[in-house]
Each structure stands twice: as structure tokens, then as C-alpha cells.
Amino acid sequence: MEHRWSKRKLIIMKKSFINFFALLLVIVANTSGFAQKLITKSGNIKFQASMPSYEEVAAESKSVSAVLDQTTGDFASLVLIKGFRFKVALMEEHFNENYMESEKFPKATFKGKIEDFDSSKITNSPKNFTLKGDLTIHGKTKAVSVIVKISKAPNGVNAIGTFEAKPEDFDIEIPSLVRKKIADKIKINYNFLLAK
Amino acid sequence: MIITSKKTKNKIMKRKKITIVTAVLLLMVSAGIYFYYGIIFKEARNIASEAPDFSITAKKLLEDYNADPKKADSVYLNKTIEITGKVTKETNSTIILENTVFCLFKEKLKNKMINNKMTIKGKCIGYDELFMEVKIDQCTVK
């Protein structure tokens, strides 16, 4: 009798141990697995390089890719240069052929980290974070630090922000003939709706 | 007799010269105007009405990009291409074919296309390494 009881106990303990282990496995898989990655493939980047009293120099891409790892704050983004659309066809051609040389350098990338990122602190009202990393445009990489506003969105977060870039920092030559028609600092707006 | 014919010959030669010079001038001016307006007010490419340079499957396109991205770029980048494949994901204005080709449309999509086999025409804008997908924009459904 005594012996049977202990055997039963042992089986129950074994079962609960297996259950516990399975639960642990699920938790581990959830926290470190792909479930924590928020992505977008149709992010938005707009840039403005207009000068007052000259023709508008602006373009937009609606097919920007981005990935945010919620546990670490690691962030990566990629935009295809040919995906930028201008209002004026000639401007788009010059942008691709003369300035960005998009046949040679088809993409611009960013790889970095959002400092002190904590997904539990994200609320509906936008909160400022510092995003530090390497920005590569026109085949040239430069370390940048920008402010990113992050707020809660259905199924993920919304990351928006603005920063400025100088063409000469990325070896983009602008001929003196059009120099006064293009701003020294190019204003770049981004808007990523990152979801699971 | 000989003298008069020489005079008329000279006259004819002069006239010829003048006509040639004016013709050349006219041609140059019109060419100048043509190029000026042609370049300044150049029409944007209309991908929807362009005949495709390539008509291939989504799988083949990705295979080419995986094999040699640089070579694939030199073949497909900026070209109008027609891609066939099953729609594996769709959002407001984008669809993904066979999990490998991302298609961006200008307008919002109305009819549901998920799981259907479709042929999409668009401009190849390049390869996205983050998701290992080829992206095409200005898409239309064929």
C-alpha cells in the first residue's frame, strides 16, 4: 500500500514537472523568439530639400522596410532609392542618375539601437527616445544620433521622427549650377508603423 | 552669252546658299526648342502603359537575386517587369507574391486577391535584404 502511494506520487510529480518544463519552454520561446520583432515593409520616408522661391525639391517613398527588436531595442531600416517618387519626372531622373547614382548604390540603410528602450513603457502618447547607429547613403556610412517618437499602435508601435542630413557627408556632389536651388541640409521625415 | 550665263549661275549659287543657311538655322532652332521642352517638361514614365521587359515568376526573380544581387540589379533594376505568383499577403495598397516579391500599388486595393494566382506589372526598385524580398512599385494588375 505504502509503496503504491509513493509510486503514484512520483508519477504525479513527474507529470507536473513535464508540464512546468513545457510552460517554461513556451515562455522562453516567446520572449526570445521572433514574436518580439516588430516589422514594417511599407514605412514612409519623405525628404525636403527645397529653397525658398525656387521649385520644390521633395520626394517620398512608401515602401521602406524596418525591423525593431522589442527586447533589445535593436533597429534596422532599408530604403530602395528607386522607390522615391518626385512630382517632376526630370527631378527624379537627376536624383537617381546624377546625385544618388542609384544603379551603383540602390539602397540606403540604417542599423542601430534605441537607447533604454522598454516596450512596457510605450503608451498612446508619443515618447522620445534616442536612436543611435550607422546611416549609409550613397555607399558612405556615417554615425548618427536622432530623436525618435514612439507611441503605441494596434499590434505594435508607431515610430516617427525628423532629422537632417548634408549631401557632402555622403559624398553626394551637387553642381554649383543648381547649388542654390537645393538646401544645404536635407530634412528627412520618417513614419514607421511597426507591427508583429 | 557666256557672261550672262555666269551671272545667272552666280545668282543661282547665292540663292542656293541662302536657302541652305536658312534651312540649317531653322532646323537648329526647332531642334533646340524640341530638346528644351522635351527635357524640361519631360513626361513621367507610365509603367502601367509600358510593355514589360521581362515576364517571369516570383520564384525565378528571387532566385536570380539570391544567386547574384549585383547581376540581377543590372538586369532588372528600373525595368518594367511582369511577375506571376500566388498572393501570400495583402494590405491596403500592397501585396506580396509567394512571400518573395513585394508589390506597391498607387491606389488602395479594393478586391481581395489573397491566395489567388496573379500577374502583376510594375517597376523593379531593388532587393530588400532585411526581408529577402524583391520590391516593385507603381504596380497594376494584369
Summarised one tens digit per residue, pLDDT across range A111-151 is 999 999 998 889 999 999 999 999 999 999 999 999 999 99
The per-residue b/e assignment along A41-75, b for 16 or more CB within 10 angstroms, e otherwise, is: bbbbbbbbbbeeeeeebbbebbbbbbbbbbeebbb
Mean per-residue pLDDT for A13-39? 65
Q: Considering only CB atoms, which chain B residues are within 8 Å of A39?
A: 131
ipTM tops 0.85: no
Residues B58 and B107 in one domain: yes
Residue-wise pLDDT for B99-112, tens only, equals 999 999 998 988 78
A78 in contact with chain B, both atoms CB, cutoff 8 A:
yes
Residues B14 and B84 in one domain: no
Q: What is the pTM of this model?
A: 0.77
Residues B62 and B10 in one domain: no
- Local confidence pLDDT in tens for the 142 residues of chain B: 556 677 788 888 899 999 999 999 999 998 888 877 766 666 778 899 999 999 999 999 999 999 999 999 999 999 999 999 999 999 889 999 999 999 999 989 887 889 999 999 999 999 999 999 999 999 999 8
The per-residue pLDDT for B34 is 80
Q: What percent of chain A stands above pLDDT 70?
A: 84
Residues B67 and B123 in one domain: yes
Residue-wise pLDDT for A79-113, tens only, equals 999 999 999 898 999 999 999 999 999 999 999 99
Nearest-Cα distance to chain A for B142, in Å, is 21
Report the Cα–Cα distance between both ends of chain A, in Å, rounded: 55
Residues B54 and B111 in one domain: yes
Report the Cα–Cα distance between both ends of chain B, in Å, rounded: 78
Residues B64 and B36 in one domain: no
- Which chain A residue has the Cα nearest residue B132? A65
Mean per-residue pLDDT for A58-85? 95
The per-residue pLDDT for B41 is 65
The per-residue pLDDT for B105 is 94
d(CA A17, CA B49) in angstroms, rounded, equals: 66
- Residue B22: give the domain boundaries: 1-42
- What residue ranges in B3-141 does DSSP mark as E strands? 54-57, 80-90, 94-97, 101-105, 117-128, 133-141
d(CA B33, CA B84) in angstroms, rounded, equals: 43
Residues B53 and B13 in one domain: no
Asked if residue A25 has pLDDT above 70, the reply is no
Mean per-residue pLDDT for A39-55? 94
**Cβ <8 Å between B126 and A81:** yes
Residues B53 and B19 in one domain: no
DSSP secondary structure, B104-137, as one string? EESS---S--TT-EEEEEEEEEEEETTTTEEEEE
Mutate to test the interface with B, among A34, A38, A42, A110 (most CBs of B within 10 A): A42
**Cβ <8 Å between B45 and A89:** yes
Within the 32-71 window of chain B, which residues sit less than 8 Å (CB to CB) from chain A?
39-40, 42-45
From A78, A92, A102, residue closest to B128, measured CB to CB: A78
Residues B52 and B26 in one domain: no
Greatest CA span in chain B, whole angstroms? 93
Q: Is B130 left (phi over 0), alpha (psi -120 to 50) or beta?
A: alpha
- Which chain A residue has the Cα nearest residue B70? A104
B125 in contact with chain A, both atoms CB, cutoff 8 A:
yes
Q: Considering only CB atoms, which chain A residues are within 8 Å of B74?
A: 103
Residues B62 and B113 in one domain: yes
- Which chain B residue has the Cα nearest residue A76? B130
Q: CA torsion sign, A106 to A108 to A111 to A117?
A: negative
Q: Which CATH number covers residue B53?
A: 2.40.50.140
Mutate to test the interface with B, among A63, A88, A90, A91 (most CBs of B within 10 A): A63
Nearest-Cα distance to chain A for B76, in Å, is 11
**Cβ <8 Å between A90 and B39:** yes
**Are the beta carbons of A75 and A112 closer than 8 angstroms?**
yes
From B44, B78, B94, residue closest to A42, measured CB to CB: B94
Of 1.10.468.10, 3.40.190.10, 2.160.10.10, 2.40.128.110, which CATH number belongs to A35-195? 2.40.128.110
Q: Looking at the 3D structure of chain B, how many domains does it have?
A: 2
pLDDT-derived band at A177, boundaries 50, 70, 90? confident
**Cβ <8 Å between A78 and B77:** no
The per-residue pLDDT for B113 is 87
The per-residue pLDDT for B38 is 65
d(CA A44, CA A62) in angstroms, rounded, equals: 5
The per-residue pLDDT for A108 is 96
The per-residue pLDDT for A169 is 95
- Dihedral of the alpha carbons of B53, B57, B61, B66, in degrees to the nearest 10: -160
A42 in contact with chain B, both atoms CB, cutoff 8 A:
yes
Average pLDDT over all residues of chain A: 88
Residues B106 and B121 in one domain: yes
The three cell numbers of residue B2 are: 557666256
Mean per-residue pLDDT for A150-179? 93
